[in-house]
Amino acid sequence: MVEEQHYRMAGLNLLAAITIYWITEHLGQAVATRSRVGFNCAPDLLTHISPLGWTHTLLTDEYRW
């Protein structure tokens, strides 16, 4: 039981890390694309962008690892 919970927590942490990495990578590409076409993003606005928006990510199911 405890070992299963440990695997579940580790798996969800891994899934969250992968999701954050993926979103961060694509945010960087979006900013670079905007800069290339002349729509520069102000650095003070970029500090308010976070890869931690979870509205499109559902982690409510039971995952078996």
* Residue 49 Ramachandran class (φ > 0 left, ψ -120 to 50 alpha, else beta): beta
pLDDT of residue 1: 80
Q: Is the pLDDT of residue 65 over 60?
A: no
Euclidean distance between the first and the last CA atom of the chain, given in angstroms as a whole number: 13
pTM for the model stands at 0.59
Closest CA to 20 of 51, 48, 58: 51
56 phi/psi in degrees, rounded to 5: -105, 5
**pLDDT tens digits along 6-63:** 888 888 888 888 888 888 888 889 889 988 999 888 888 877 776 666 555 556 666 5
Query: Which three-class secondary structure state does DSSP give residue 53?
Result: coil
pLDDT for 37 equals: 93
